Structure 1
């Protein structure tokens, strides 16, 4: 039965690409329609949340069985019922969730082109690779940067598959050469898209929105480079060989050399990323309190309790042209 479920999820994964574009199309359509007909937009966006739930179903195989990510695996499984529940609440008349839908539309619009279009994706990966290499050089790491894709592997140089360098090739005494490739997930564009969506979705003065976006993107960029350096160094030099047999068993890997990568990335870096996102959200709220509208709605979806975090966080919507009343941000 378990094998049948895995096979079904692998089959569903083939629809990842088409569903991702369909999510963008439906949410953007609903966002545009809202400008003219909120009632019709609500129904379109309800459909969008249904499509999003299907997208998360298609993503389970990648995050759980392919990437073996605990954090992302749990998140994608929970996202399925949550997406359906948001659609139900929106269909039931909770129109304040429209602003959350706008955030999804903008975030998807930022992320999807970078993740699928080579002329956007490749330069971004190349820049992140160069900056990660610079920091690794400053801390004395011995490596070379090569073309190809060996993510992660204890292999020799890969055959170049793309016309730019993105793989770190470490030469460690008494250990076979280890390579670590900078992938799209290593660029931080996913987190940037989340905050881009949150900031764009609320109604507030453009100057404060641009300031909040610049601060969020700047923090994410610096933390992401630090994350890449930590993972590359820990994996390349095998610094985190912690309970190797246990890690190999839990994550279903065959090579002891990958244990440091799993501990550095799939456990430490990903869990710390959750706390980093919470901290960045707080910084953004201090600049753009209107974002609390979305946070309040997210908490309502999770708990079915109404929240007003403005008093709790000692912030309030500014009177410089931004919204002072909660319903005006919708």
Structure 2
């Protein structure tokens, strides 16, 4: 079911890119609803690995979805731009997600480069299978989410959110792709080393899942790297704003839209409570 939600969202956003159709806003509605549905469908998995960042994102997505759908139905240009960003991100991500040989090639490339980097710093590893790295009896599986392709797609989608010159397009690509890709390899190196060396065997009542040594993976992958990725994406977004000034104005307009609509929602609730 989860995979179908992603596929539906992908198809809907790609259909949204078709110009001059009266159904564009409804395609975007289906796309955003499917994304939020996927976030909630993934909750059991994230709870099983004690990852609380994505459940938090899922919870915060509800007011975001409320404002987005309302704005889409009244054909607000700012949310149409936001939907364009999502559509471009899917356009970049979809081939790797749904063309299995291409996705496997990217994973294998990242596995090889991660293993090479580990060896170059004096920490050689072995391979259980083509995408599972092993050392000291601990195994780390590299999947598509470990390649950085989602973050790359999102940030390139952001760069496509406003009209740009060729120079701006090239600079944005050079800022996003090499930075995220290289730092993602370093992230994998850190996670594999921290897990297989058991650097963080702390608070098993919070970080443990019953699997031997999982606590080190939890703190390295689910906490430190997630926070690091968030800071990185903020820094890259700032860099994009410097390269493409129009993105800053767009972000400010979008912030005002969501702030005002959410304030209206809270105000309505307060008035309703007073009436009762």
User: Normalising to structure 1: TM-score of the pair?
Assistant: 0.73
From 234, 243, 251, the equivalent of 1:295 is: 251
Matched residues in 2 for 1:298 and 1:136: separation?
A: 42
From 80, 93, 116, the equivalent of 1:111 is: 93
Q: Does 2:194 correspond to 1:194? A: no
Q: Residue by residue, what CA displacement relative to the aligned partner does 1:233-268 show, whole Å, maximum 9, x if unpaired?
A: 0001111112334422xxxx1134111000100111
CA contact (8 A) 1:285 1:291 kept: yes
Q: Does 2:12 correspond to 1:30? A: no
CA contact (8 A) 1:16 1:58 kept: yes
More helix by share: 2
CA contact (8 A) 1:52 1:83 kept: no
CA contact (8 A) 1:100 1:294 kept: no
From 77, 83, 98, the equivalent of 2:65 is: 83
CA contact (8 A) 1:54 1:80 kept: no
Matched residues in 1 for 2:87 and 2:189: separation?
A: 32
Q: Does 2:105 correspond to 1:123? A: yes
Matched residues in 1 for 2:253 and 2:25: separation?
A: 16
Matched residues in 2 for 1:229 and 1:43: separation?
A: 43
Q: Does 2:231 correspond to 1:266? A: no
Matched residues in 2 for 1:262 and 1:76: separation?
A: 20
Matched residues in 1 for 2:84 and 2:199: separation?
A: 43
Q: Does 2:156 correspond to 1:216? A: no
- Aligned residue runs from structure 1 range 23-62, under 5 A: 23-32=9-18, 35-37=19-21, 40-62=23-45
Greater relative contact order: 1 or 2 (C-alpha under 8 angstroms, separation 6 or more)? 2
Matched residues in 2 for 1:69 and 1:206: separation?
A: 40
From 169, 173, 193, the equivalent of 1:233 is: 193
Q: 1:302 to 1:236 in 2, by over 3 A?
A: farther
Q: Which runs of 5+ in 1 are unaligned?
A: 1-14, 148-164, 172-176, 306-330
CA contact (8 A) 1:121 1:184 kept: yes
SS of the residue corresponding to residue 103 of structure 1 reads helix
Q: Does 2:134 correspond to 1:169? A: yes
CA contact (8 A) 1:59 1:76 kept: no
Q: Which runs of 5+ in 2 are unaligned?
A: 262-276
- Once the two structures are TM-superposed, the CA of residue 67 in structure 1 deviates from its matched residue by 3.9
Matched residues in 1 for 2:109 and 2:6: separation?
A: 25
Matched residues in 1 for 2:204 and 2:31: separation?
A: 43
Matched residues in 2 for 1:262 and 1:243: separation?
A: 10
Matched residues in 2 for 1:188 and 1:30: separation?
A: 25
Length, aligned pairs only:
261
User: Normalising to structure 2: TM-score of the pair?
Assistant: 0.86
